[in-house]
Structures are given as structure tokens and as C-alpha cells.
Amino acid sequence: GLSPVSPINVYTQREVYGTVGSRVTLSCSFWSSEWISEDISITWHFQAEGTRDSISIFHFAKGQPYIDDVGSFKERMEWVGNPRRKDGSIVIHNLEPTDNGTFTCDVKNPP
């Protein structure tokens, strides 16, 4: 049988601007009619401007933040979110021109 599915609404800023060398907060808040389970996961993806490929740069799962080892963000990323407060935000420090692109916040709250 199919289990019922409830949507999670995810909210981010449409555009975020930062200057090279500074830091920027990528905010991601979400709302779910269900309670936030221990299995909640939050993934941030980055698609560089002019490319088709998107890479995973950050993952929160099982109560722990994981900064992915790929890409140029790994040394410059900080988890500032709190899933209990329905917040999946990250900070990117020391901005570089190559950080220009699309960032996507994906939230899953199983079951």
C-alpha cells in the first residue's frame, strides 16, 4: 500500500549577493505539517553558472552536519541551521568569483 505523503514547504531567498572575500548566509527555512523526525535530512546543491551539473556541497542527516569533500566550498562552509527550528541555513565564508551560481536547499522529513 501507499503511505500518505505530506509536503514540506521550503523557503529560500531568490537572490543573494556578496562581495569577494566576504561571507554570505544562504538561508533555508521549511514548514511541515508533520513533526520533524529524527531522520530529517537537509542537502544543499550547487550548480555553477553556465554549467548543467549540480554537486552536493552539504548534507545534514542523523543529527549531524556533513560538509562534502568535493568542490571549492569544503573549507569555507559553516552549518548554522537548526532543524528543530525548521532552519537549514549555511554560511559560505571567503567568497570567490567562482561561487556564482544556483544553490538549492532540499529537505526530507521521512517517513
- Would you list the domain boundaries of the chain? 19-108
Per-residue pLDDT of the chain (111 residues; tens, 9 = 90+): 666 667 889 999 999 999 999 999 999 999 988 888 889 999 999 999 999 999 999 999 999 999 888 778 989 999 999 999 999 999 999 999 999 999 999 999 887
**pLDDT value of position 35:** 84
Distance CA 96, CA 12 (A): 21
How much is the pTM?
A: 0.89
Centroid of chain to Cα 14: 14
DSSP code string of 64-96:
EEEE-SSSTTTTTEEE--BGGGTB--EEE-S--
Residue 68 has a pLDDT of: 81
Superfamily, domain 19-108: Immunoglobulins (2.60.40.10)
